[in-house]
Amino acid sequence: MIDLKLLRENPDVGRESQRTRGEDPQLIDQLLEADERRRDAIVAADAARSEQKAFSKEMGQKMRSASDEEKAALREEGKAKAEGVKKLEETLNAAEQEVHDLQMRISNIVEEGAPAGGEDDFVVLEHVGEPPTFDFEPKDHLELGESLGLIDMKRGTKVSGARFYFLTGDGALLQLGMLQLAAQKATQHGFSLMIPPVLVRPEIMAGTGFLGAHADEIYHLEEDDMYLVGTSEVALAGYHSDEIIDLSEGPVRYAGWSSCFRREAGSYGKDTRGIIRVHQFDKVEMFVYCKPEDAQEQHQQLLAMEKEMLAAVGVPYRVIDVAGGDLGSSAARKFDTEAWVPTQDTYRELTSTSNCTTFQGRRLKTRYRDENGKAQTVATLNGTLATTRWLVAILENNQQADGSVIVPEALRPFVGKDVLRPKN
C-alpha cells in the first residue's frame, strides 16, 4: 500500500513511478483528490460531533425550565443534529473506503535507478561463469531426466494433468539435496528455517500484493475461500501481520521451505516441455523484515546469498536489473539471476529477489518501534535460494557425451553419487 504522506509531499515521484511501470499516473491524482475529500469529511464530521455534544449539554440545562412545547422543539433539534452527524459519518466512511480502494490499486513506488519499460527492457548487471561448449548434440533436461530415471512427465500428466510431473529416484534426491543445501546456507547466514502453511486467507494474499493484475495465476479454493501460495513469501509476510516486532537487534530473517502452486494461466503454449513452467514445485524462499533505511543493504545481501548458492551448484548465469513494468505490484526493485540453458541457447530465470519497501508492511499492519518508541511500518524483502527449476540448468550444463550427468560437488553428499548414468 502506498504511503499517503509520501505522495502528498512528492506527487511527482508517484506519477513517475507509474510511468516507469507503464501504469496510469492519473491514479496518483485521483488518490490525492480522494484524500483531500476524506480530510474535509473528517473536519466536517468532527465539527458536527462537537456541535452536537455542546448542544446536548446545553439542552440538558434548558429542559429543566422549558415548556412542553419548547422541550419538543429541543428534542427535534437534537434529533436533527444527530441525523446530521450520522450522514456526515457515512460520507466520511465512504471517503475513507475510496481512499483505501485507490491505495490498493496503486503499485509500489519504483526505486530510483530501476530501468523503465517492460519484460524485455531489463539491464544485464553481470555474467558469471562461461556457458559450456559440447562436441556432441546436447540433450534437453527432459530427455536427460527420462533416460536417467529422474523425471516422469507422462505419469504426472496421467495422474494430475498437463504441467505436472513426478521426480523419481535420484531426481528426488537431487532436488531434496539442493533444497537441503539452501536450508543449510540460510541458517548459516542467520535465517530461521520454517515450513509454512501453503493455504492462506484472502487478507494475507491481498496484503502481499498478489491479488492484483496477476490474480488469475493463483489457485483459489472457493468453498473454503482460501488460496494456495505461489511462494512461501506470502505466508512469511503474513506471519507478523497486525504485530509490532522487535528490530532493535537488526533485521528479522526467515527461510521458508514449501511446495508452491501456480496456475500458469497466461502461459498457453509456452514451455510446455519439461519442468520449466509447471503448476507445482518446491522452493526455499528467504524473507526479511527490517527498518526502511536498511532495505537496500538487505537487498544486496539477499542477492549475494543467491549468487553463493548458484556458485555451489556451478551453473553459468547472469544477473539482471528488472524493468519497472515487469516488477509486480509489491516490488520497488528486483534483481533476477538467470542460468544458461544450452538447448535453448539462452538464459532462463532461476532466482528473484525483491525489495518491497513498506508496501506489504503497510497492508499487513506490521510495525516496529523506532528509537523514540514510536510505531513505524517495517520494510520487507524476499529472495529465492533454490527451486525445482534449478534441475533444468544443473542437468543440461553438466551432461556428458554418453548421456550421463556429473553431479555438482556440493550436492554429492545428498545424492550419494558423483555421476548419474542412463538406466538403459
The reply to whether 21 sits in an annotated binding site is no
Which residues, other chains included, contact 371 with Cβ-Cβ below 8 Å and sequence gap of 6+?
A: none
**CA distances from residue 265 to 107, 253, 262, 348 in whole angstroms, order as listed:** 21, 32, 8, 19
The reply to whether 263 sits in an annotated binding site is yes
**CA distances from residue 176 to 146, 280, 283 in whole angstroms, order as listed:** 18, 15, 10
**CA distances from residue 154 to 145, 177, 259, 390 in whole angstroms, order as listed:** 12, 24, 21, 21
Determine the Cα–Cα distance for residues 281 and 259; give it in Å rounded to an integer: 6
The reply to whether 89 sits in an annotated binding site is no
- Reduced to 3 states (helix: H, G, I; strand: E, B; else coil), residue 399 is strand
Which spans in 208-338 are helix H? 233-238, 295-313
The reply to whether 346 sits in an annotated binding site is no
- Nearest alpha carbon to residue 275 among 194, 172, 199: 172
Q: Phi first, then psi: what are they for 32, rounded to 5°? A: -65, -35
Give the strand pairing for 367-369 and 244-245. Answer: parallel
The reply to whether 384 sits in an annotated binding site is yes
Determine the Cα–Cα distance for residues 72 and 146; give it in Å rounded to an integer: 90
CB-CB neighbours of 117 under 10 Å: 17
The reply to whether 83 sits in an annotated binding site is no
The reply to whether 217 sits in an annotated binding site is no
The answer to whether the CB of 322 falls within 8 A of the CB of 334 is yes
Determine the Cα–Cα distance for residues 420 and 229; give it in Å rounded to an integer: 33
Determine the Cα–Cα distance for residues 85 and 75; give it in Å rounded to an integer: 15
Catalytic positions are 262, 277, 349, 352, 389
The answer to whether the CB of 231 falls within 8 A of the CB of 208 is no
The reply to whether 130 sits in an annotated binding site is no
The reply to whether 412 sits in an annotated binding site is no
Q: Counting Cβ atoms within 10 Å, is residue 130 exposed (0-12), middle (13-18) or buried (19+)?
A: exposed
Determine the Cα–Cα distance for residues 418 and 407; give it in Å rounded to an integer: 5
**CA distances from residue 379 to 158, 187, 360, 372 in whole angstroms, order as listed:** 44, 21, 8, 18
The reply to whether 75 sits in an annotated binding site is no
The reply to whether 264 sits in an annotated binding site is yes
Where residue 337 falls (left for φ over 0; alpha for ψ -120 to 50; beta otherwise) is beta
Q: Tell me the binding residues for L-serine.
A: 231-233, 285, 384
Binding residue positions for ATP? 262-264, 278, 349-352
Q: Binding site: residue ranges?
A: 231-233, 262-264, 278, 285, 349-352, 384
